[in-house]
């Protein structure tokens, strides 16, 4: 799917949620001629490998959310699969935190005290993929561990975002990763690693969340 088609897809997606964005010639959708702005690009996989959808949300001149989603299948089918993953994993949290349109049926919304400030937290579901993902339970203490790790951080009073991933291979090898504002977050990775994830099978679990400091 080319850039123009992706731009049209995103434009219609936002319109369905009563957000009007302006399209420019470079594939961006901008908000009243300013930030936040969003753009998606599709990269076809090679030799039977999944393709990759990159979604960028520019918050300001020097801050950008970068998320990627795998798409199974070739051509437009793979891109549509990745777009479905984007909508399910991240779109509604982005819509709430960046465009202030909140649908609490699509995410968990929490209030966390971190440092001396209170934060609105928009938490997407842990999405499972893989051959053995259908009945794989997500440990309830995964988010508890992440909340505890965040409360030890000195967060600047601005929007922050996290990507949490745990994968388990058929060979028994497992791996956890946490990113905070696009950068590896060691404390979060250690917190995820310490969680009692299900053993056996081949699956990956992914969660995307944003934290927005409350105004007083």
- Per-residue pLDDT of 119-137, as tens digits, reads 999 999 999 888 767 778 8
Q: How far apart are CA 41 and CA 132, in angstroms?
A: 29
Comparing CA positions, the residue from 149, 193, 162, 201 lying closest to residue 175 is 193
Q: How far apart are CA 77 and CA 73, in angstroms?
A: 6
57-70 pLDDT, tens digit per residue, is 999 999 999 999 99
Q: How far apart are CA 12 and CA 171, in angstroms?
A: 42
pTM of the shown model: 0.94
pLDDT exceeds cutoff 70 at 216: no
CA 53 vs CA 40, 80, 160, 166, 210: distances in Å: 7, 9, 22, 20, 20
**Spacing of C-alpha 103 from chain mean position:** 16
- Contact in structure between 3 and 41 (CB atoms under 8 Å): yes
Q: How far apart are CA 79 and CA 43, in angstroms?
A: 9
């Amino acid at each position: 799917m080319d850039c123009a088609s992706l731009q049209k897809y995103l434009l219609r997606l936002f319109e369905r949620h009563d957000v009007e964005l302006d399209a420019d010639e470079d594939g961006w959708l901008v908000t009243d001629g300013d930030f936040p702005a969003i753009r998606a690009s599709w990269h076809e996989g090679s030799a039977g490998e999944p393709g990759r959808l990159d979604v960028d949300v520019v918050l300001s001149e020097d801050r950008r959310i970068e998320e990627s989603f795998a798409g199974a299948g070739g051509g437009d089918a793979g891109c549509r699969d990745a777009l479905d993953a984007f909508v399910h994993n991240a779109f509604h949290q982005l819509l709430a935190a960046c465009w202030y349109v909140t649908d609490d049926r699509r995410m968990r919304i929490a209030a966390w005290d971190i440092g001396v400030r209170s934060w609105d937290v928009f938490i997407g579901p842990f999405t499972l993929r893989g051959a053995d993902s259908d009945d794989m339970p997500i440990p309830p203490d995964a988010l508890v561990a992440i909340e505890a790790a965040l409360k030890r951080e000195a967060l600047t009073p601005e929007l922050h975002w996290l990507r949490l991933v745990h994968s388990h291979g058929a060979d028994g090898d497992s791996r956890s990763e946490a990113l905070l504002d696009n950068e590896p977050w060691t404390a979060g990775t250690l917190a995820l690693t310490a969680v009692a994830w299900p053993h056996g099978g081949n699956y990956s679990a992914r969660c995307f969340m944003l934290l927005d400091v409350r105004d007083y």
